[in-house]
Amino acid sequence: MTSPKKPRSLRITLLRSLVGYPERQHQAARGLGLRKIRSSVVRPDTPETRGLVNKIVHLVKVDVVEPS
């Protein structure tokens, strides 16, 4: 019997300042829970999360966290 798969997670780290970027990108970072430079959050790997990350991919670093 196989156990149900746990969904992967993404560790998202804000690397660059949001100053000078459009308000939509500020909102995307806030929506992910990123507030300060070098702050990190772990979010589930869903299409919604990926969409927000794609809007600010030039400002963040994304690592895949495998379930343990």
b/e 37-61 (16+ beta carbons within 10 angstroms → b) = eeeebebeeeeebeebbebbeebbe
Mean pLDDT, to the nearest integer, of 31-36? 95
Mean pLDDT, to the nearest integer, of 39-57? 95
Write phi, then psi, for 25 (nearest 5 degrees): -75, -35
Confidence at 21, pLDDT banded by 50, 70, 90: very high
CATH of span 11-65 = 3.30.1390.20
Quote the pLDDT of residue 4: 66
Mean pLDDT, to the nearest integer, of 32-49? 95
Is 52 in a helix, a strand, or coil?
helix
| Residue 66 scores a pLDDT above 70 | yes
pTM passes above 0.75: yes
